[in-house]
Amino acid sequence: MSKDRRSIGFAGDGENEYAVYPDYATGHEALIVMLRGSKYFHLTFQEASKRYVKKDPDHIHKIIKLSKNRLTPDQTIKSLSEKEFEIYWKAIEQNEGWEVGREEPIPKWIISGVHKSRGVIIEYLVTKREGSSWIPKAEAIKLTEEHRLHAVVVHLNNGTIYLRHEYGKKPFQIIV
C-alpha cells in the first residue's frame, strides 16, 4: 500500500486491507515492482507468500494450483525465467481478483456560525453549496464524525462532547 507504488488509498475491513490503484495497469506495475524488489526477489514462493499474506497459510498452495503446478514452493523468485515469472504474477493476480471501483467525492461543508443558549452551543449554521441552514448540535457532531463537516469532535473527561474548528482555521462565529 506504499505511495511509492502509486496507490491512491486502501480498502478492506481493517484486518484485511488491500491497496487501491487508479487502474489495472498501475496495480499490475506495483505488483511487478514489489516482486522484483529487494524484499521479495531473493525469497522462495513459500517465504514470499508468508510475507505477502501473513494470515493465509494456504496462500502458496493456491498460487501453485493456479499455476497448474508449473511452479513449486521452494523456487526463488530470482531463479525464474520471464515465462515462469509471468505464470507466477498471473497466479497472484488471479488469486487476488481485480475489479473496477468508482470514486465518489463527498462534499465537506463548513460551519459558518453557532447559536448558544446559556453559554452552550445548541445549533450550528452549516454552509453547503446550495446555501446555509441551522442544524442541531447532535446532527453536526454526527456529520463531523462522518467527515462531512470541517470541524473536530472534542470529548471532555466529564462526558461533554462539542465541536471546534479545525487546526489553523478561524473559530466559529457566534450569531445571536
Evaluated on CA atoms 142, 145, 150, 156, the torsion sign reads positive
pLDDT-derived band at 30 (thresholds 50, 70, 90) equals very high
- Quick: pLDDT tens for 123-175: 999 998 888 999 999 999 999 998 889 999 999 999 889 898 888 888 888 77
Q: How far apart are CA 3 and CA 20, in angstroms?
A: 11
Q: Are strands 110-117 and 120-128 parallel, antiparallel or unpaired?
A: antiparallel
Span 103-130, average pLDDT: 87
- Quick: pLDDT tens for 2-11: 455 788 877 7
Q: How far apart are CA 103 and CA 108, in angstroms?
A: 15
